Amino acid sequence: MKNYDISKISTSAPENVSKEEIKEKTDVLIERLEELQNILYAEGKSSLLIILQGMDASGKDGAIKAVFSAVNPQGISVKSFKKPTEEELAHDFLWRIHKHTPRKGKIQIFNRSHYEDVLVTRVLGLTDDKTARARFKIINAFEKSLQERGTQILKFYLHISEKRQKERFQERLSNPRKQWKYNSNDLKTSKNWPEYRKYYQEVFENCSPDIPWQIIPSDHKWYKEYLIAKTIVRTLEGLKMKYPGLVAG
């Protein structure tokens, strides 16, 4: 099994990499992603689901904006899963998730996801461990069923340090352009860091064995964006997609 001990995985870019070189590589990858998304859409045989998880201020919104800046908006959708509504709570926990899975030819991004129902719900005491672990099995079956119908799944955990998180919270307070992002609950969430780490660790080890998590060092935005773009491009290239030929009239 892949080692998911995040206490031993760095949150920073390696010291021997050049920021400028990495950013240049990222630009190339973003251009390649634009082409691959076009082929995915035109071929219409497969789809891609990208799941982004991470602590508050780990950079999920920024990653989406940067990595998919060149992609045709018609071929991509983003769904942010926040606190469930009363209607959503009246159904099973995957009800609100399933209806946003991607159709063939599309890329769907989940900014937070069904994993919130085995993470934050446990921290808040809304779900006990027994229920959460039963949900692990349901999640595994759900993701496997998506795979079987042609959906590629990439799961990214944006791995940020407590120090960098606090810096970004402070930036939200002081920068007028980012103050709208600040939530008074952010600091409360940061106090529960050990619990989140513990529950994330369980998720990495149990969901899903055949769809591995990508642990992305995220203290440096430019390195985070590079790793995400590289993984997505590699995955789409692995589909061996082709533009369809002329259709007879």
- Total domains present in the chain: 1
**For the stretch 39-62, what's the b/e string if a residue is b when 16 or more beta carbons lie within 10 angstroms of its beta carbon?**
bbbeeeebbbbbbbbbbbbbbbee
- The pLDDT assigned to 44 comes to 96
| Structural domain range at position 162 | 6-237
DSSP 76: E
Which tokens hold the place of 211? 């769809």
User: What's 18's DSSP letter?
Assistant: -
Would you say residue 106 lies in a domain?
A: yes
Does residue 176 fall inside a structural domain?
yes
What pLDDT sits at residue 1?
Answer: 45
Q: Is residue 229 part of a domain?
A: yes
Joined together, the tokens standing for residue 149 give 């119908």
Residue 44 is assigned to a structural domain of this protein:
yes
- Give pLDDT, residue 183: 72
Q: Report the length, in residues, of the chain.
A: 249
Least Cα distance to 182 among 191, 174, 173 occurs for 173
In a domain, 113, yes or no: yes
Exposed/middle/buried for residue 140 (C-beta within 10 Å: 0-12, 13-18, 19+): middle
Q: Is residue 215 in a domain?
A: yes
Q: What is the pLDDT along the chain (249 residues), one digit of tens a residue?
A: 466 889 899 999 999 999 999 999 999 999 999 999 999 999 999 999 999 999 999 999 999 999 999 999 999 999 999 999 999 999 999 999 999 999 999 999 999 999 999 999 999 999 999 999 999 999 999 999 999 999 999 999 999 999 999 888 888 878 777 767 767 666 667 789 899 999 999 999 999 788 999 999 999 999 999 999 999 999 999 999 999 987 665
What pLDDT score was predicted for residue 184? 67
Residue 242 lies in a domain: no
233, 33 Cβ separation under 8 angstroms: yes
Residue 247 included in any domain: no
> What kind and span of H or E run contains 48?
strand 47-54
